[in-house]
Structure 1
Amino acid sequence: MDQADIPALLSRLASDEDAARKMAVFKLQSSINDPAFADVFIASGGLVILRRLIMSTGGNTLAYSLQSLTRLLEVDMGWDIFEGAKAGDLVERVVELIVTNPLVNILRGAMSILVALVGHSQSTPARGGAGGSSTVRTPGQFGFRALKPAVAVYPQFFEHVIAQLQSADHALCANALMLINALIRDAVMQSSGNDGGQKVGGSQQEEWSKFIKRLQDLGLIKAVYNLMQSSSLQDLAHPLLEFQSLTKVLLRKWREVRVDLEKPEHRRALKGLHLASAPDRRHANGALLAVVAATDENGNEAAKKGSRRHNPEKWRRLGFETESPAQEFDVAGFLGMMDLTDYVRKNEDGFQKLLLEQSARPLSERCPVARASLAVTMILYDHFEVDKSDLEDVRGYQTLDASKPSDRLFHPLLLQWSRLHTAGLHAFFRMWKATGAERDDFDKVAELVRILVEQVVGQASRTKDVLEVEDDLSEYDSGRLRELQMDLLELSFEDQWGPHLYQVRDELKTEALQFVKEQRIRCLLQGSWFTKPQPRNSKDGGGSKDSYPTSRRRLYQPWRYAKLSHNRRYLHYADFSEQTAHEPGLDALTEKVDLSTISSVVSNVSAPSEADDGEAQSRKSADGASTVSTYPVGGVRDRGGPTKPTTKITIYSFVEDITGNGGEQENGTTPVAEPKEHPILTLFPLNHSLASEWLDGLLMLLNQAPITAETNKLVTLVSEYGLKIRLLNVRLEEHGAAAGPEPGAGVVPSREGLDEDYFYEI
Structure 2
Amino acid sequence: MDSVNEIIERLGNSEDAVRKMAAFKLQSNIADPSFAEMFILQGGIIELRELAINANGNTLAYSLTSFSRLLEVDKGWEYVTPELISRMVDLITGHPLINILRGAMAVLGAIVAHPQISEGRGSMMTGLFGFQALKPAIAEHPEFLEMLVERVSSADHALCANALQLINALMRDSIASDNEWQKFIKKLQDLGVIRTVYYLMQGSSLQDLAHPLLEFQALMKMLIRKWRAVKLNLERKDHRTALKTIHIASASSIRSNPEKWRRLGFETESPAWEFEQAGFLGMMDMTEFVKDHEDEFQKIIHEQEAKSKEERFPFARASLYVTSLLCEQFAVDNSEADDAKTIMILESRASFEKAFKPLLLQWSRLHTAALFAFFRIWKETSALYSDFDKVSDLVRVLGYKTMVQATRTKEITEVEKEFAEYDYQRLRVIQMELLEQAYGNAWRPQLTSVYEETAKEAQEFIKEQRIRCLLQGSWFTTDRTDGSHNKSKDKLAYISLFARLSTDRRYLCYGYYNADMDIEPRMEDLVHKIPVSSVSSVVSNVMPSVRDNRDSSATVTTATPFNSTTTKLTIYGRQPPSGIQQNGDTNKEYPLIVLHPSNHTIASEWLDGLLFLMGKKPITSETSNLINTVAKCSMKVRLLSVRYTDIYPGPPDIPSRNGVDDDFFYS
Q: Which of the five TM-score ranges fits, normalised by the shorter chain?
A: 0.7 to 0.9
* Residues 397 and 409, structure 1, Cα contact 8 Å, conserved in 2: no
Q: CA deviation at 1:175?
A: 1.0
- The residue number in structure 2 matching 1:717 is 629
Structure 2 residue 130 is matched with structure 1 residue 143: yes
Q: Which whole-Å CA distance do the structure 1 matches of 2:455 and 2:582 have between them?
A: 53
Q: CA deviation at 1:216?
A: 2.6
Offset from partner CA, 1:737-757 (integer Å, 9 cap, x none): xxxxxxxxxxxxxxxxxxxxx
- The residue number in structure 2 matching 1:109 is 103
Q: 2:176 aligns with which of 182, 189, 194?
A: 189
Higher helix share: 2
- Give 3-state SS (helix, strand or coil) of 1:627's partner: coil
* Residues 571 and 594, structure 1, Cα contact 8 Å, conserved in 2: yes
- The residue number in structure 1 matching 2:214 is 241
Q: CA deviation at 1:435?
A: 8.0
Q: Which whole-Å CA distance do the structure 2 matches of 1:273 and 1:243 have between them?
A: 31
* Residues 73 and 79, structure 1, Cα contact 8 Å, conserved in 2: no
Q: 1:171 aligns with which of 145, 148, 158?
A: 158
- The residue number in structure 1 matching 2:114 is 120
- The residue number in structure 1 matching 2:334 is 388
- The residue number in structure 2 matching 1:604 is 541
Q: 2:236 aligns with which of 263, 282, 286?
A: 263
- The residue number in structure 1 matching 2:256 is 309
Q: CA deviation at 1:357?
A: 7.6
- Give 3-state SS (helix, strand or coil) of 2:231's partner: coil
Q: 1:680 aligns with which of 593, 604, 608?
A: 593
Q: CA deviation at 1:479?
A: 1.8
Offset from partner CA, 1:239-295 (integer Å, 9 cap, x none): 23322322222122122111223334433443444455x454xxxxxxxxxxxxxxx
After TM superposition, list the pairs within 5 Å mapping 1:552-591 onto structure 2. 553-554=491-492, 576=515, 584-586=518-520
Offset from partner CA, 1:352-390 (integer Å, 9 cap, x none): 666678778876676655444444444443444433331
* Residues 505 and 719, structure 1, Cα contact 8 Å, conserved in 2: yes
- The residue number in structure 2 matching 1:76 is 75
Change (3 A) 1:179 1:705: same
Q: CA deviation at 1:22?
A: 5.8
Offset from partner CA, 1:668-727 (integer Å, 9 cap, x none): xxx9999964353522444x4554345435555666543222221222222222222222
Change (3 A) 1:676 1:715: closer
Task: Name the stretch that deviates more: 215-224 or 101-110.
Answer: 215-224
- Give 3-state SS (helix, strand or coil) of 2:619's partner: coil
- The residue number in structure 2 matching 1:27 is 22
List runs of 5+ in structure 2 lacking aligned partners: 31-35, 647-667
- The residue number in structure 1 matching 2:664 is none
After TM superposition, list the pairs within 5 Å mapping 1:273-672 onto structure 2. 273-275=246-248, 278=250, 280=252, 307-310=254-257, 312=259, 314-316=260-262, 318-343=264-289, 368-395=314-341, 397-398=343-344, 406-407=351-352, 410-413=355-358, 414-421=360-367, 442-443=388-389, 462=408, 474=422, 478-494=428-444, 498=446, 501=447, 504-517=450-463, 520=466, 550-551=488-489, 553-554=491-492, 576=515, 584-586=518-520, 592=526, 597=531, 599=535, 601-606=538-543, 612=545, 627-628=554-555, 631-632=558-559, 634-635=561-562, 645-651=565-571, 655-657=576-578
Q: Which whole-Å CA distance do the structure 2 matches of 1:405 and 1:702 have between them?
A: 52
List runs of 5+ in structure 1 lacking aligned partners: 14-19, 128-132, 192-203, 281-305, 536-540, 578-582, 636-642, 663-670, 735-762
* Residues 111 and 175, structure 1, Cα contact 8 Å, conserved in 2: yes
Q: Which whole-Å CA distance do the structure 2 matches of 1:445 and 1:401 have between them?
A: 38
Q: Which whole-Å CA distance do the structure 1 matches of 2:590 and 2:341 have between them?
A: 73
Q: CA deviation at 1:554?
A: 4.8
RMSD: 5.0
Q: Which whole-Å CA distance do the structure 1 matches of 2:470 and 2:376 have between them?
A: 47
Q: Which whole-Å CA distance do the structure 1 matches of 2:578 and 2:530 have between them?
A: 19
Q: Which whole-Å CA distance do the structure 2 matches of 1:514 and 1:436 have between them?
A: 48
Percent identity of the aligned residues? Answer: 43
Change (3 A) 1:366 1:693: farther
Give me the TM-score of the superposition, normalised by structure 1.
0.66
Paired AA for residue 176 in structure 2:
M
- Give 3-state SS (helix, strand or coil) of 1:602's partner: strand
Change (3 A) 1:2 1:672: closer
Paired AA for residue 206 in structure 2:
L
Q: Which whole-Å CA distance do the structure 2 matches of 1:275 and 1:728 have between them?
A: 52
* Residues 78 and 124, structure 2, Cα contact 8 Å, conserved in 1: no
Paired AA for residue 429 in structure 2:
G
Q: Which whole-Å CA distance do the structure 2 matches of 1:92 and 1:135 have between them?
A: 15
Q: CA deviation at 1:51?
A: 6.9
- The residue number in structure 2 matching 1:63 is 61
Give me the TM-score of the superposition, normalised by structure 2.
0.74
Q: Which whole-Å CA distance do the structure 2 matches of 1:702 and 1:646 have between them?
A: 25
